[in-house]
């Protein structure tokens, strides 16, 4: 011991052995649920592209029933007998299967014509039958392509600022509904609401505040309607409301007045009270047209020609017009 070393350790910091930080556990990847039709499925439990949960199905009819009961990530159809390819192309449930699941087909010597026909029906991949042992990679890639395709379709059909259906999706939905109305006639109405005040919110508080205000308008519209009614975003300052079923011809005007009143109450955005003005146009089926674009054009024109109500004390000079002369009573 060196003479200068202390003989007592009172008041000194005790020595503790530091422990390495715990290694974070990687999140568990949810398994891919796969329906397998045809020959016995290979063991995919140890696949690096998994995990997979494979459910065997005896026939295409059994697969159709299983898909009706619950969605699956993928469907593998193993055509291990000659002549099953055309039967799959004509399978009535194929259009439903490709909506939710990534469909992969295994068949002996797939021809280009049949593979192209199946791809046009929505099948993700067509592989030779001897590729079954390595189908796990094709399955994983098919599922990922299906997810990307679904996201792209959602982006195409959705207004990303509000999450509402956009103009194209509204017209598509109306077209399908009007086709049903031709067989089962029933009155319906389309409302278009033109909103004023969003540009003022953006100028005063920024673009994000204007987006928040727009989303709050969408939420208030949705809250004032039935679950069967559709709210869509038509553009930066317009919304559409599709009343798929109305009891009387005047019901559309009453709903329009109710929604306009609800939007005239102020919104709280970024700690400030903001108000909007709204003008509403209404078109009704079949009085104003039998096609989706006709009804939308009628409602848009009525909303554009209407006088916006609301924003008392909030309108700027451009929106309320020039001030009258001092001698103008």
CA 2 distance to own-chain centroid = 77
**In this structure, how many other beta carbons lie within 10 angstroms of the beta carbon of residue 10?**
5
Quickly state the pLDDT bin for 135 (edges 50, 70, 90): confident
pLDDT at 144: 92
Q: Which residue has the tokens 């046009």?
A: 120
pLDDT at 111: 80
**In this structure, how many other beta carbons lie within 10 angstroms of the beta carbon of residue 307?**
6
pLDDT at 317: 35
Question: Is there a contact between 215 and 164 (Cβ–Cβ < 8 Å)?
Answer: no
pLDDT tens digits, one per residue of 179-217: 888 888 888 999 999 999 888 888 889 989 999 999 999
43's tokens: 């063991």
Choose among 150, 91, 145, 141: nearest CA to 118.
91
Mean pLDDT lowest for which of 211-220, 233-242, 298-307? 298-307
d(CA 322, CA 60): 71
Stated pTM of the model? 0.55
Choose among 185, 74, 176, 167: nearest CA to 125.
74
Q: Which residue has the tokens 């319906």?
A: 188
Max Cα-Cα span within the chain? 109
Choose among 160, 257, 264, 168: nearest CA to 215.
160
pLDDT tens digits, one per residue of 251-275: 899 999 999 999 989 999 988 899 9
Contacts of 33 (CB under 8 A, 6+ apart): 53, 55, 72, 73, 74
Q: Which phi and psi angles does 197 have, rounded to 5°? A: 120, -15
Average pLDDT, the chain: 81
d(CA 259, CA 220): 8
């Amino acid at each position: 011991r060196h003479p200068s070393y202390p003989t007592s350790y009172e008041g000194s910091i005790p020595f503790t052995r530091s422990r390495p930080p715990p290694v974070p556990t990687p999140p568990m990847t949810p398994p891919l649920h796969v329906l397998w039709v045809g020959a016995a499925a290979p063991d995919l439990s140890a696949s690096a592209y998994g995990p997979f949960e494979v459910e065997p199905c005896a026939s295409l009819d059994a697969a159709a029933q299983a898909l009706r009961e619950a969605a699956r990530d993928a469907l593998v159809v193993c055509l291990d007998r000659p002549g099953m390819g055309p039967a799959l192309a004509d399978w009535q449930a194929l259009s439903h299967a490709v909506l939710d699941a990534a469909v992969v087909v295994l068949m002996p010597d797939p021809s280009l014509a049949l593979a192209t026909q199946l791809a046009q029906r929505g099948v993700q991949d067509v592989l030779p039958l001897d590729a079954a042992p390595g189908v796990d990679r094709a399955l994983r890639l098919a599922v990922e392509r299906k997810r990307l395709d679904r996201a792209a379709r959602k982006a195409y059909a959705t207004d990303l600022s509000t999450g509402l259906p956009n103009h194209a999706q509204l017209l598509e939905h109306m077209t399908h509904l009007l086709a049903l109305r031709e067989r089962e006639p029933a009155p319906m109405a389309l409302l278009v609401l033109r909103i004023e005040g969003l540009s003022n919110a953006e100028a005063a508080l920024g673009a994000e505040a204007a987006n928040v205000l727009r989303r709050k308008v969408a939420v208030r519209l949705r809250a004032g309607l039935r679950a069967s009614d559709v709210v869509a975003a038509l553009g930066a300052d317009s919304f559409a409301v599709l009343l798929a079923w109305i009891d009387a011809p005047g019901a559309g005007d009453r709903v329009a007045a109710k929604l306009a009143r609800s939007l005239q109450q102020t919104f709280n955005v970024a700690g400030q009270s903001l108000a909007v003005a709204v003008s509403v146009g209404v078109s009704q089926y079949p009085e104003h047209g039998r096609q989706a674009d006709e009804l939308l054009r009628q409602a848009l024109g009525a909303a554009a020609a209407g006088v916006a109500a609301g924003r008392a004390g909030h309108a700027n000079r451009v929106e309320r017009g020039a001030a009258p002369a001092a001698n103008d009573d």
